[in-house]
Amino acid sequence: MKLDCAGKPLDLSRPRVMGVLNVTPDSFSDGGLFVARTAAVSQAMAMYQAGAALIDVGGESTRPGAAPVSVQQELDRVIPVVEALVSELPVPISVDTSKPEVMREAVRAGAGLLNDVCALTAPGALAAACEAAVPVCLMHMQGEPRSMQANPQYSDVVADIKDYLAARIAACEAAGIPRERLLLDPGFGFGKTLSHNLSLLARLGELGELGLPLLVGLSRKSMFGALLDRPVEQRLVPSVVAAVLAAQHGAAIIRAHDVAETMDALKLLMAVQVAGMEKQ
């Protein structure tokens, strides 16, 4: 399967890595590191050279308790970086936003994918995404970023997420967004306990029944801190292991901070799978 991301194709015939580029002062993992445009472009180039098939630019932190930012603040952070990356890199540039105004301006600047943690539920977001005519990733989140981890509850975490995403797919199609332009993200860590996250990873393949590519973000998540008692800077190994598990369960795109290490792990997985299919 190939997605047309504003003229830049994204081949999903094998698992791909999406490089995370937070141009924010307060993101949980790399907040403040890439606020300057030159630093952001340099980091994006490094991730591309390490094998990233697309770069995801975010201008508002969605970590639990993070303060919201205005539309203008997010535009000021994101648009100059998108403009620079579109001209510098041959791979698609994704924008991580829930604001319709940012969606429109980002696509005008050349962004080829919209990555929305709110699954286009904000007022005007469906219309903006329809007008943008680029692929959209719909993510599941219980609650909202400031309070999502307070007390998340599910009757069946995978079934509930599947039902939610199916409803958002239907809403997109009703709004005029073709199914072929949609990707799905189960939202690890967004309104989910450690137990929920582990169940979701174990049963990720069930979401493949929705028939759309899965984008998974597990990189340096707090679930690894809870499980292994590791701070953010010591979560590389579990993040890479989780990326491999997700790919084995059908994930088409792995969203990662550590692109080179994730690429190495996926290359090994692909090599083993190919060898397993060869006649001895």
Give the number of other Cβ atoms within 10 Å of residue 276's Cβ. Answer: 8
Interhelix angle 125-132/100-108, rounded to 10 degrees, is: 10
Ordered structural domains, the chain, with CATH: 2-274 (3.20.20.20)
Pseudo-torsion of CA 256, 260, 262, 265, nearest 10°?
Answer: 180
Residue range 181-191: average pLDDT? 96
Q: Is 267 a catalytic residue?
A: no
pTM of the model: 0.92
Question: Average pLDDT over the chain, rounded to whole?
Answer: 92
DSSP state of 67: P
Q: What does the pLDDT look like over 53-107, one tens digit per residue? A: 999 999 998 777 677 889 999 999 999 999 999 999 999 999 999 999 999 999 9
Helical H segments across the chain, by residue range: 37-49, 71-88, 100-108, 125-132, 157-175, 194-202, 222-228, 236-248, 259-277
Q: What does the pLDDT look like over 226-241, one tens digit per residue? A: 999 999 999 999 999 9
Q: Which of 221, 230, 267, 279 is catalytic?
A: 221
pLDDT band per the 50, 70, 90 thresholds, residue 24: confident
Give the number of other Cβ atoms within 10 Å of residue 92's Cβ. Answer: 26
Residues 6+ apart with CB under 8 A from 166: 210
Q: Which of 230, 255, 267, 279 is catalytic?
A: 255
Give the number of other Cβ atoms within 10 Å of residue 6's Cβ. Answer: 17
Q: Is 255 a catalytic residue?
A: yes
Residues 6+ apart with CB under 8 A from 60: 24, 66, 68, 69, 73, 74, 96, 97
Q: From CA 37, how far away is CA 24, in angstroms rounded?
A: 11
